[in-house]
A and B are shown apart, each in its own frame.
Chain A
Amino acid sequence: MALRHQDIWQQQVLPMLGARIRSALARLEAGEADRVEEIRLRPGRPILLRGGGQQAWLSPQLTVEDIRETMNILSQYSYYAFTEQLAQGYITIQGGHRVGVAGRVAVANGKVTAMAELGSLNFRIARQFPGVGEPVLPWLIHEGRVCNTLILSPPGCGKTTLLRDLVRLISDELGLTVGVVDERSELAGSYRGVPQLDVGARTDVLDGCPRDQGLIMLVRSMGPQVVAADEIGVEADAVALENVLAAGVAVLTTAHARDLADALQRPVLRRLIDGGCFQRGVILTRCQGIPALAGVVQLPHGRWLYRRVG
């Protein structure tokens, strides 16, 4: 399942780019290409590559036509098939890579309805880090059951990466049936309904499904023992989670927050935490720029089970 980074680059990233961009990137040496995490394409600017905390400009200067060609390939010449995704600001491509889109947006009734004109594109190359969940998982199991777990972290600290690996471990190592609601195609990186990232052999994914509806659909239809969803935060999520818990299914989810105190500032999270919905909280942080585990707490009272020193 896991492809080497070079194969990902050759088979999944390069074919999705317009001809001029592709030939510029094909000239990179393998060692350089391996380090690329982001490719940023903006009209009137050269290609910008980012990775490993560094960035580099690469000629040629891009034109609107280059961006349009790339978008044609990405959307398979079929805007109608990607309207919803584009209104959210991204397209997921084969391999689970996400292409962020900016430009002139069309709005109706205060909601973004379409990406009316293309501006810039940002390819984010999905990488899996199998094993990041291994040190965490033992803390989440109590009396042979997977605890209801809330992963808290600021953006970019590996929340989704950790959740994905926990799902994979619970599915493959613990042998439980897992249901994933992947509203933004981030967790499983599904392409045409098939997960592109390894989420385990006993995992079912509802791709592109609104979280609240998806959680209830999964419990009704797929009989999961554990369900996972990314980034809860609104009232509808809380209602759905309470329903899932009432069905006796364990829940893994994440939320944007620096720490437990920060999470308790938010009414929906506070209600869920104080209401005893979760038994474990996993807190992530950045340590010298690298995502790291800050600790695991017992919920609702917040006693540290494990805390990173330093």
Chain B
Amino acid sequence: MLRLLAAAMIVLSASSLGFAMAETFRRRPQQLRQLQFALTVLSGEIRFRQTPLPQALAAVAKATPMPVGQLFADLEAALAGADGRGLPWAWQQVKPRGLALAPADYALLENLMQVLGAGDVVQQGRQLDLHLEQLRHLELEAERSRIANEKIWRYLGVFSGLALVLILL
């Protein structure tokens, strides 16, 4: 009886590990889509209303689903305390929470922070378009990697759990 319980525990924890890994592969393209939505909102605020960044970031944070929206809320808060040190500095203060983004995605955002706010409306629009396009590419890549990995990790979790049980039996 105890053996059976232990075996069930092993299978369960191994498959939940696998499912968690699969989940990050599933969430990354979704969050990249939300990021694109966020940048589209930002682009609208800048292009058509010329809203200064603190208010524009607040609008983006409000419009974008969590946890991606939180990223912009945190950035706005960091900017409020930046005391003139600039957006790149504020971005460094932001600690992303609950995101499934890859280093390449953060590198793209970091790159955006270097140029955001630093040009006229036309330039800013072009920069945002460029970053949006790159986000689309990242999303496609993330989608491909989701298709390739999501199921594998799930099966891997379950089967490695089962394998471990078999070995231990």
Q: Give chain A's interface residues, CB within 8 Å of chain B.
A: 18-19, 68-73, 75-81, 83, 114
* B interface secondary structure, majority: loop
Contact of B52 among A68, A69, A76 (CB under 8 A): A76
CB-CB under 8 A from A69, the residues of chain B are: 83-85
Contacts of A76 in B (CB 8 A): 52-54
B119 interface residue (CB < 8 Å to A)? yes
Cβ contact within 8 Å between A77 and B87: yes
- Which residues on B are within 8 Å of A, measured CB to CB? 46, 50-54, 56, 79, 82-87, 117-121, 123-124
Chain A residues in 8 Å Cβ range of B56: 78
Distance to closest chain A CB from B52 (angstroms): 4
Give the CA-CA distance A75 to B53 in the complex, in Å.
9
Residue of B nearest to A21 (CB): B84
**Bound complex: CA of A75 vs CA of B123, how far in Å?**
17
Chain A residues with CB under 8 Å of B117's CB are 75, 77-80
Instruction: Please determine whether A77 and B79 come into contact, CB atoms closer than 8 angstroms.
Output: yes
In the assembled complex, the Cα of A18 lies from the Cα of B86 at a distance in Å of 11
Minimum CB–CB distance from B44 to chain A (whole Å) comes to: 13
Residue of A nearest to B56 (CB): A78
Additional A-B contact list (5), CB under 8 Å, known A68-B84, A75-B117, A78-B117 = A72-B84, A73-B83, A76-B53, A77-B87, A80-B124
In the complex, A19→B1 CA distance in Å? 69
B51 and A81 within 8 A (CB): yes
In the complex, which residues of chain B have a beta carbon less than 8 angstroms from the beta carbon of A114? Answer: 120
CA distance A76 to B55 in the complex (A): 9
* Cα of A120 to Cα of B85 in the assembled complex, Å: 18
- Docked complex Cα distance between A57 and B56 (Å): 38
CB < 8 Å: which of B79, B83, B120 contacts A79? B120
A79 touches B84 (CB 8 A): no
Interface centre among A19, A68, A69, A79 (most CB of B within 10 A): A79
A/B interface sample: 17 pairs, CB < 8 A: A18-B84, A19-B83, A19-B84, A68-B86, A70-B84, A72-B82, A72-B84, A72-B85, A72-B86, A75-B52, A76-B54, A77-B87, A77-B117, A79-B118, A79-B120, A80-B46, A83-B121
**CB–CB B83/A77 < 8 A:** no
**Does B54 lie within 8 Å of A77, measured CB to CB?**
yes
The closest CB in chain B to the CB of A69 belongs to: B84
Q: Given the complex of chains A and B, what is the CA–CA distance between A70 and B85 in angstroms?
A: 9
